[in-house]
Structure formats: structure tokens, C-alpha cells
Structure 1
Amino acid sequence: MIPRFRRTARQDAGAYGTEDVRPVRLPLRDVLALGVLRLRTRPARAVLSALGISIGVATMVMVVGIPASGKQALDEDMARLGTNLLKVQKSADAGGMRSEELPEQAAAMAARIGPVEATAAVGKLPGVSVRRSDKVPAGDTSGVSVVTASGDFRTALGAEAHAGALPGGAAGAFPTVVLGATAAQRLGITDLQPQDGTAGPQVRLGEHWFTVTGILKSMPLLPEMDSTAVVSLPAAKERLGFDGHPSVVYVRARESALDDVRAVLAATVNPEKPSGVSVSRPSDALRAKKMTETAFSSLFLGLAGVALLVGGVGVANTMVVSVLERRTEIGLRRALGAARGQIRAQFLTESVVLCLLGGIAGVVLGVAGTAAWAASQAWPAVLPLPAVFGGLGAALVVGTLAGLWPAVRAARLTPTEALATS
């Protein structure tokens, strides 16, 4: 392609022997046309050269986008479930000394704290088995544990019923049970339709039959409740021998006063021995779990950087070979008056355009991969703009660095040297 030169006012002024023959700067559109000319004539080479750039940029976008989508899903869960839930239980055994049980009135005492909005007490019954039939051995519990619940179960725990009713209510001392989401699956109970003339599906707790009156939705903040069978406090005392001491007390307090409530909760629940009580925040554990799941993000970012480096080396190699193959073209253009700077601009533009095309393809792949993964996890798809622009910027930098030396090498060729070795 022969560059177009423009006449200047200085040239027009000296029409007789005063013409300035110095080469002028190529228009931007001509520079771009020269840069993409070789890419159009060698598309297979261009695709293979840009592949490494595409992989690196796609990895970068996905490494940033997938954790951002997971964080957004977690934030939405936290907003729905609330971060103002506290979990009170006896301290773990230390030094061979076993901590005392929580007082029977622990939930009621916690409710006296001003900012507390709701409390619920849950007591474990470790010696009670859960079976679908009395023909099943007593030791086969399907991994379901029996607990008793009292207090405001809905508000304190954020519990919702998938079917039927929540624990407590009008059931009172009647032999009824509510199953957690996982417990219902393990016992094969998917609905509450009457069976064999009974009021509903029944399970055997210890030596007694209990009617299933509800199935809970999954509880992300309290996954241990998903695999439980929950009975009312009166029924647990009358039929299952519960001693009345709760294992855990859940406290829902105002968000603004949560730290203050947490500071006095142990002494309020067990004034005689506050050290025997531990207070935790389930949302903190959930956040820590999510942080652990994304702990390898830095590693994958490093891998993305390696892919970009390999892609840049590939582009640089392609440009060096291109210079060697096009010595005749370079010599001819130099002989026709092309300046060194114009040769440099041509090859540098070709390298940058090649890497930018790879970067754009990588962004598209990264966005598609992020959206597909978020959809598979039922997360909202989040695409951070810094990841997109960062990927394109990285491709631009790699293209500039990869094409700099080949462009300088091409510009150093003199017309006679280039044509003599062609």
C-alpha cells in the first residue's frame, strides 16, 4: 500500500522549485489499514497468535467475575436472612472440665435484654432415633437428629415452612414433628398427604409414633437445622424424656445494638458462670466459608498472567517472522519515501490490533463463562467493569511490548539492505 501525501500551504506557496519533499505523517485510517492488512491475508496465523491473549483475558475476567457473583449472592442471602442473629451455647470442654448445661430459662432471660427482638431455645435429644418404620433397626437414624424447640421459632431463626406448619403453635403436647429440608429428603417424605388412613406421614421417634405436620425450607445460616426432626417442648418432655435444658439459644437483636447485646448475653443467660457460655454469630461463619471458597482467586489470577505472557511471546514471535517475510515490502516502501517512523507505526499497529482482537474475544469468553457458572449456581451474574477494562488494557500493553522490538527492527532496515536480501 502506497501512503498518501498531502500538500501543505508551504508547498502551494513555492510552486517553482521550492517544493518541500519531506514525508508527511500518515493519516490514522491509513495506519490502521496497514496494520490490519496482514491480519486479513493470514487469518489462521492471526487467530493462533491471539489465542494465548484470549485465554489470559478470559481467565482474568472469570476469576474476577465469578467471586463477585458469589459475593453478590451471599450479600442477598445476608440481606434476606439478616446478620443480627446470635447463637448461644455452652462452651466447649476445656482442660478436662465439662461445661454446665444452659439454664432452662436461658431464652426467657435473654429476652429481657432491651434490644432483643426474639429468642428461641433448641434442645438436643441424642438418645432418640428417627425411623420410618419400627422394622428399621434403632441404630439406623439416616443421619437425622431429634431436637425440641420453644419460643419464637419463625422470627428468631428466620425459619420458613416449605409445607405444613412450623414447630410449636397449636400442636402443644400432641405427638407432632416438623422435619428439616435434608431430614425430609433422607426419610423420603416429600409432601404431607394422609397415608393409610392417618392424618399424614408418620415417623418413629424412639418408641413413639409422631405425625409429620411440616417441612422446613433450607436454612443457610443454620445448616445443622436442616437435618433435624423438631418436636415441641411439651411433647419432648412427656414422651421423649427431655430434661428441659436447651443446647442452643438463638437470639435476634437490633442490628445497631448487636455488639452491645453480644457483650452482655453470656452473663445474662448464665449469671453464675458466664465463662461457661459462648456466643457466636452464624453469619460470620458463613462469610468465612465463602471467603475460603474464593481463596484461590489470586492463584488463578497468576495463571491468567502467565497465559497473557505466553500469548505476548507468541505475538512477538509472529511479528518477528512477519518482518523477515516482508523485507521486500519494507524495502520497497522505504525506496518510495516511507520514513522509519511510518514503518514502525505499521508493525506496531499490527501487533496492537492483533492483541486487542484477542482481548475482545477473551472478554466475550470470560463474560459467557461467568454467566454460565453463575446460572449453574443460581447466583446473580455480576460482571465488574474493572475486569473488562483491565483485560483490554492488559491486551493493549502486551501488544505494545510484543510489537515494539519487531517494529524497531523493521524500521532500521535501509532500502538497499531490504531489497538486496529479499
Structure 2
Amino acid sequence: MWPGDVVRVGAVGLRTRPMRAFLSALGIAIGIAAMVAVVGVSSSSRADLDRALAALGTNLLTVSPGSTLTGEKAQLPLESEAMVGRIAPIRDVSAIGLLDDAKVYRTGEMPETETKGIAAYAARTDLREAIGAELRSGAWLNAATGSFPATVLGSAAADRLGIGHAGPDVQVLIGGRWFTVIGILDRAPLAPELDTAALVGWPAAQAGLGFDGHPTTIYTRSQDASVEDVRDVLGATANPEAPNEVEVSRPSDALAARKAAGEAFTGLLLGLGAVALLVGGVGVANTMVISVLERRSEIGLRRSLGATRGQVRTQFLAESLLLSALGGVGGAVIGALVTSIYALYQGWPVVIPAWAVAGGVAATLVIGAMAGLYPAVRASRLSPTEALATT
């Protein structure tokens, strides 16, 4: 038979039993939609992460104190920030210092234990430029406000304190003293510790909160080509007397780890989608077997009129492939729509890999061929007399 004839003959069974065909195709469509949506949402998320990294840069390195040989918390020297700044490829240096005893509260009536996980830090005025953070509201610390009781809150800290905007009439209690909230940071992907922080000027922290001046995290921006070389010497430069007590980390590595975790999660969901696809294939096989049993008289009549076994086998195999193709195309469209809607809702770029769509449709054809092979062979083996005897 010509290809057009094969398609027309294969479509007869679908047209005569539309509800059964729809339900069988739906099983395939669910599996393909799940696979396309998982790959699309994951790809869109990674594209948004890559876009953020491209905007913020991956050349940010951090230095923090590690542990001493006795297991106690180490301390960076007072001069560590200045010494790190003398490394030639480094172009930006800034620091924060943790204020251990300065708890942050919205009012003086809050119980001491209700800190909401907010930490207070002394911050340099050039910190925001070093970490690439943006302001959600208000202004950043400068040489003037850094000497007075003024604070800038991280995005999560502001939310937990119930503060929506900065202003001269908005105050929080830090270490028993009132500080005016002059600014609120937006989320800082490369410095997530600042999201739950209340930042005060370095001079104000030393004058009013008992800060000893030792930095707890130093942020550096280096030339892109020299990041690894700078990382190798940061520990010895920050604390020449005890370089083993210094931890050098790279926030972009944490983002890479998150990306790897997202890929592992994607693999898990793809496995679930494959199971759904397999279930859909079983549904197609079941439909085709039932179709062969119900159409024995039709098969016998066709054989009596001269149809060969190969033509009968082709007819039922074509019907199975058409059924699977309908489910595959429908599932790909549904998966693409789900990806687009979710990505736009999250503010991500919409990325639907072509290989995911093509692979999904190809997988349905393979599943359809495997599911329809046995019923097609069974139909072709029916003798005309045996098939007509069942009518």
C-alpha cells in the first residue's frame, strides 16, 4: 500500500472508537508533557541563573576565619583587609564584621529569644559595589551615615521585621540602641548571608556596639583570568602567621552546586515522566489488543478479499503509531505551554530545548511501535476462516 493509504486505513480504528483512542492517547500525552515540562522548567531556571551570574560576575571570592588547631573559632587580623587589597589582580575589596552580641528587634517589647534569625554586621561603605547588590528601597551607607545610628536591612531581614520601605521614621533596635532604617537591599545571590542581616557603618559599630574591628568576611573582586591564582594566595595573604586558619570560598561554587542539585532533581522527575510514558504505552498496547479481538470479522473479510498478512500487520501497526503520535504531539504542546506559563510567572526566560520536544515525540513513536507490534502480528496470523467463524 502507498503511505497515504496506510495512514487512511490506520486511522479507521481511531475514528470508529474516538473515546477509547482519546483516553489511550491521553496516557501517552501525560508522560510526554511531564518530560517536556520538567526539561523546560529546569532549562528556564538554569538560564535565569546563568543570566544572574553573567550580570553579577563569577569573580567574587570571600575570605573568612576558619578554626584553630584546638578547634576554636579563629580570627582574622585587623590588617587582613588591607593586606588582601595589595594583591595585584584584585580590583575591589570590602568587608563585614559580625556583631555577636547585637540582637535585632522590631520593638523593645520582643522577647530576647525572638531574633528571627537576623544577624547584625558592621559593613564598609563600598560593600554594595563589591557584591553587586541592588537596593530595593532607600539609600546605602556612606561616609556620613556610616558614623551615625543608621542601618540597611537585607531583603529577608526586612520581611521578617515587617518593614516594607526605608524612611526616617522607621527604626529597629540593634544591640539595645535604636537605628534608623535608611535602606533595604534586594536579594543578594552571591552573598546570601546578607539577606538576613542588619548592616551598620563600621565607625558606628565600633563606637556604639562594641565592635573590635576584626572582619569576619572579606569580599574581593578579581580580574576574571586571575581568579584561581588569587584564590591560591588569599589565605596566606589574609593571615600570614596562620594561613591554615583561613577559609577561602567562592559563592559562585555554591550556585554551581545548586545547579547540580537541580540537574539531579530533573533526572528524578524525568524518571517519573518515563514511568508515566511506559504506563501510557501499556494503555496503547491494551487498546490495540482489544481492537484486534473486536475486529476479527473485519480482519477475516480483508483476508478473504485478498489482503496479505503484511498488509494487515501494517494496518494495525500504523494505527498504533498514529495513536502514539497523537499523544506525543499533544503532550509536547501541553508541556511547552506549562513551561511557558510557569517561566513567565517566575520571571524567567522561556527555554524549551528542541531535543526535548523531538526526543519526546520520537519516544512515543518507539513506544507505539513496541506496543502495537504484538497485536499487529497477532492480527496478521488470523486465518480468514477462523476470523469469519467468529462473526
Q: Give TM-score scaled by structure 1 length.
A: 0.87
Question: Aligned residue for 1:44?
Answer: 19
User: Are the equivalent residues in 1 in contact too, given 2:147–2:203 (CA < 8 A)?
Assistant: yes
1:40/1:169 CA distance change after superposition, 3 Å: farther
Residue number in structure 1 paired with 2:2: 27
Question: 1:343 pairs with 302, 312, 316, which one?
Answer: 312
Letter in 2 for 1:311: G
- Which of 283, 288, 291 is equivalent to 1:314? 283
Distance 1:224 1:410, change over 3 A: same
Partner of 2:153: 179
Q: CA deviation at 1:277?
A: 0.7
Match of 1:356 among 325, 341, 348: 325
Q: Which has the larger displacement, 177-186 or 80-89?
A: 177-186
1:92 aligns with 2:72: no
User: What is the deviation of 1:210?
Assistant: 2.0
Q: Which residue of structure 1 lines up, in the alignment, with residue 259 of structure 2? A: 290
Change (3 A) 1:323 1:204: closer
Distance 1:54 1:304 in 2: 10
Residues 1:310 and 1:122: Cα distance change in structure 2 (over 3 Å)? same
Alpha-carbon distance, 1:146 to partner? 1.2
1:104-141 deviation digits (Å, cap 9, x = unpaired): 12121111111111011100111112233334455543
Matches within 5 A, 1:7-406: 26-92=1-67, 96-150=70-124, 152-193=126-167, 199-406=168-375
Q: 1:420 to 1:60 in 2, by over 3 A?
A: same
Cα distance in 1 for residues equivalent to 2:267 and 2:178: 54
Q: 1:142 to 1:49 in 2, by over 3 A?
A: closer
- For 1:228, give the aligned amino acid: A
Change (3 A) 1:142 1:411: closer
Which consecutive unaligned segments of at least 5 residues does structure 2 have?
none
- 1:151 Cα deviation from its structure 2 partner: 5.3
Aligned residue identity for 1:366: G
Tell me, in whole angstroms, the C-alpha distance in 1 between the residues paired with 2:78 and 2:339: 50
Specify the SS of the correspondent of 1:147.
strand
Contact 2:105/2:173 (CA < 8 Å) preserved in 1? yes
Cα displacement (A) at 1:64: 1.7
Aligned residue for 1:13?
none
CA-based RMSD: 1.9
Q: CA deviation at 1:293?
A: 4.0
What amino acid does structure 2 have at the position aligned with 1:56?
A: G
Shift of the 164–313 alpha-carbon distance from structure 1 to 2, 3 Å rule, reads: closer
How far is 1:279 from its partner? 0.3
| 414 and 188 in structure 1: CA distance in 2 versus 1, 3 angstrom threshold | closer
Give structure 1 stretches of 5+ with no counterpart.
1-25, 194-198
Report the 3-state secondary structure (helix = DSSP H, G, I; strand = E; otherwise coil) of the residue aligned with 2:240: coil
**Match of 1:367, as an amino acid?**
A
- Larger Cα Rg: Structure 1 or Structure 2? 1
Larger displacement relative to structure 2 (404-413 or 224-233): 404-413
The farther-off stretch of 372-381 and 388-397 is 372-381
What is the CA-CA distance between 1:367 and the residue it aligns to? 1.5
